[in-house]
Amino acid sequence: MTEVVKSKKSTLYDALKAAVLTLELRPGEDLDEARLSDEFHLSRTPLREVFRQLAGEGYLDLRENRGARVSEMTHTTLRDFFLTAPMIYGAVLRLAAKNATPTQITDLENAQVAFKAALRSGTSADRAIANNRFHEITGDMADNVYLLPSFHRLLIDHSRISMTFYRPQDASMADNVAAASDQHDQIITAIKQADEAAAAQLAIDHWNLSRDQIEFFVMPAGLDVPLGAAPKTAIV
């Protein structure tokens, strides 16, 4: 494969990933292969290779003889999201504090700089993408083959859910985002100090910061379980 094709595939990958995270492409929306092929100057074979990669990461669903579509968000997926998010976030940050390399810590610090820049002058989409990148790096730090697929899917849906209700002009939401940025700094410190317990607790604190607002806007009707309550065994 030529370098030109690799570059075009990378550009398509980044564009589709961002479009899913920011709801430019809606859950369940079909992808137009012909349009994307023309827009990104790729033949169907490399185009579908990108689709397969994104499907493996949870962004797309591939259907035989029906093409690719954006992964759905149903009542079932939302229920599972609320029940598992704090457990997985806690486990990931605990392992991140244990396993992070110096290079990864530098990457995380740079991602935080980008997140703060997005808060100052970026759009809500910029903020979502920068926040997602910060947390993706913590997943890389955790380096766990069992956790990563679930963690990546949680990040996708967390971003999409947040995009449905985030309003920068809302003072309480602006305060929450500022607090989230402060917690990012604390997460970096806990990871640099290899403080697993502090990192795991920060994951829960970080989740709780947005949980109430998320539940208010998107909690599926009929759920009779306490959402977002992590079993004590999840982070000990």
Higher pLDDT, 229 or 164: 164
As a CATH number, domain 75-234 is 1.20.120.530
pLDDT confidence of 209, banded at 50, 70, 90?
confident
pTM: 0.85
Maximum distance among all Cα pairs of the chain, rounded to whole angstroms: 54
| Dihedral pair phi/psi, residue 67, rounded to 5° | 80, -170
Higher pLDDT, 3 or 212: 3
Fold of 3-70: Arc Repressor Mutant, subunit A (1.10.10)
Structure tokens at 79: 């229920």
pLDDT tens string 129-160: 999 999 999 999 999 999 999 999 999 999 99
* DSSP bridge pairs for 70: 60
Arithmetic mean of pLDDT, 77-88: 89
Per-domain residue ranges of the chain: 3-70, 75-234
Arithmetic mean of pLDDT, 151-176: 76
Detail the DSSP E strand segments found in 48-90: 60-63, 67-70
What's the rounded Cα separation, in Å, for the pair 123 and 217?
21
Q: Which range, 57-66, 109-118, 119-128, 208-217, has the best average confidence (pLDDT)?
A: 109-118
Write out the DSSP string of 136-184.
HHHHHHH--TTHHHHHHHHHHHHHHHHHHH--TT-HHHHHHHHHHHHHH
